[in-house]
Amino acid sequence: MKEIQRGRRFIIIDDVLTTPHFAAAQDLMERTAFTMRESVISAEDGPAFRSGGVRFGPDLGASDVGGQPHLYEELARTVRAYSDFYGEAGTDWDKITLAFWKYPAGSRLGWHNDAGLGRQGEFILFLHDRWRPSWGGELKLIDEDPQPVATDEVTESDPVLRMEARIERSTTSPIAIVPKPNRLVMLKSDTVHTIGRVDHTAGETLRRTITGFVSKSPVRERTRASALESLSAMLTTN
């Protein structure tokens, strides 16, 4: 595991998993069911394939999830280690939610920012065996802190055009991150980013990732969890 690049709103870590654990993560993905999903950003993006979701807390143990738990343990450990980026576990965030994604040739995901819902940030781990840079599918981002909302964003009903307005006002150019296998990219919440279209020359090769969000539960959810913990403690002691 080695951090190779860091910006204001992103961190890139290569070789995040050992060779055996990377192979185990790929095997877990192969055994996972997927459904086709149309893009929630734009109909021009084309469909992708998503697995069911997984959720766990910052102190994940091997008994907390089924299948191949080491992958989730390693991701939770990495997120906890970057408290300067995501904040302190249990205080600034208390859950990780994730899913596997597959993008075929011809698909992309338009510019967006994944803000809100208590999110501190997100991460993307690339799980394909091989990826040629000419196949596209780059993760592109604007490494610039959010600016005050402009009038054109407030009045524009198209979310893609609202994001493009932010890019046009940006004082920096987008950064393109090649989807290298076993590469982990961490982003802060409200970072404007996109998935470049996968080129047709990729053929049957799919852009494979596990994508997760690091979040703080809403007050109501935290209150319910606390009540359940108290009830469990009472039943254990009585």
Beta bridge partners of 96: 56, 214
Is 80 exceeded by the pLDDT of residue 138? yes
Residues 215 and 118 sit within 8 Å (Cβ to Cβ): yes
Q: Taking the CA atoms of 173, 144, 165 and 38 in sequence, report the sign of the dihedral they define.
A: positive
Q: Of 233, 209, 191, 170, which is closest to residue 85 (Cα–Cα)?
A: 191
Q: Taking the CA atoms of 14, 214, 36 and 157 in sequence, report the sign of the dihedral they define.
A: negative
Give me the pLDDT at residue 64, please. 45
Give me the pLDDT at residue 173, please. 92
Q: What are the CB-based long-range contacts (under 8 Å, 24+) for 162-169?
A: 163/110, 163/111, 163/112, 163/113, 163/192, 164/111, 166/142, 166/192, 167/111, 167/142, 167/192
The three-class DSSP label of residue 26 is helix
Is 80 exceeded by the pLDDT of residue 235? no
- Across 220-225, average pLDDT: 54
Residues 111 and 158 sit within 8 Å (Cβ to Cβ): no
The three-class DSSP label of residue 226 is helix
Which domains are seen in the chain, by residue range? 2-237 (2.60.120.620)
Under the banding of pLDDT at 50, 70 and 90, the label for residue 67 is very low
- Across 21-43, average pLDDT: 94
- Across 160-164, average pLDDT: 84
What is the chain's alpha carbon radius of gyration, rounded to the nearest angstrom?
19
The structure's pTM equals 0.86
- Across 31-39, average pLDDT: 96
DSSP 144-187: SPPPPPPHHHHH---HHHHHHHHHHH-SSPPEEE---TTEEEEE
Distance, CA of 39 to CA of 107 (rounded, Å): 9
Residue-averaged pLDDT of the chain: 88
